Amino acid sequence: MRRREPTTTWLPSTEQVMTAPERAILAALEGSLELTIRVLKAEHVELLPDGRLARDPDGEQPFTAALLPVAEAMIVSAEHLQRLIREYRYLVDGLLADAKRKTCAAAGDEDETDIPF
């Protein structure tokens, strides 16, 4: 039985896209980066943690060996960009939450979940 890889891609709700539209394209980019990483690791299995060569029992991969340093750099860059996207998303969420609290406080609502009736 194969172990399933966890999916780390986050998808924004409709309300979240309405309040910060950039979330939609950042979620799409994050998903594309996750797929890029998986494809590069599948193509260059020597980049996997155990270094196994699943497709070539003789250990000869002259064509892919030349691509290995670039693939590795792409994986590192994609993982870094994923972290930046998550950081941006958390900052946007925090800023919007702060703005909502300030708006509620200015309107005299101490609890933003109160229903006005």
Q: Give long-range contacts, CB 8 A cutoff, 24+ apart: 25-30.
A: 26/85, 26/88, 26/89, 29/81, 29/85, 30/82, 30/85, 30/86
* Identity at 88, one-letter amino acid code: Y
pLDDT at 1: 46
State how far the alpha carbon of 15 is from the alpha carbons of 19, 20, 85, 94, 109, in Å. Answer: 6, 9, 19, 15, 21
pLDDT tens, position by position, 63-102:
667 788 999 999 999 999 999 999 999 999 999 988 888 8
Q: What integer pLDDT is reported at residue 81 of this predicted model? A: 96
Q: pLDDT tens across 21-56, in order?
A: 999 999 999 999 999 999 999 888 777 776 554 455
| pLDDT band per the 50, 70, 90 thresholds, residue 115 | low
Give the contacts of 73 (CB within 8 A, at least 6 positions apart): none
